[in-house]
Amino acid sequence: MKLFMLVIGLVMVIEGLPYFAFPEKMKVFLAQVQEMPEETLRWSGFFLMCLGLLLCYLAQRTGIFS
């Protein structure tokens, strides 16, 4: 549970960084995201999930990051 909470906290920090550092650019970016087709967003999300799973696998099984 400790590791899970650590990961959630780190995700929140990483997610918040662009809003803190570049608030005006984030408004423009979010407006562009609203105009994107849903299919593009869906495939982008799928790709990022697969990349995240691969990263977790590599970190856990191969020790490549240790």
HEC string for 18-32: HHHHCHHHHHHHHHH
Q: Does any domain span residue 10?
A: no
Q: Does any domain span residue 56?
A: yes
pTM: 0.72
The mean per-residue pLDDT over the stretch 57-63 comes to 85
Q: Does any domain span residue 55?
A: yes
Q: For residues 35 and 18, what is the distance between their CA atoms, to the nearest angstrom?
A: 20
Q: Does any domain span residue 58?
A: yes
Report the number of distinct structural domains present in the chain.
Answer: 1
pLDDT band at 26, cuts 50/70/90? very high
More confident residue, 65 or 30: 30
Q: For residues 64 and 29, what is the distance between their CA atoms, to the nearest angstrom?
A: 34
Mean pLDDT of the chain: 92
Q: For residues 47 and 66, what is the distance between their CA atoms, to the nearest angstrom?
A: 25
Q: What is the pLDDT of residue 66?
A: 67
Which structural domain, as residue segments, surrounds residue 61? 24-66
The pLDDT tens digits for 7-22 are: 999 999 999 999 999 9
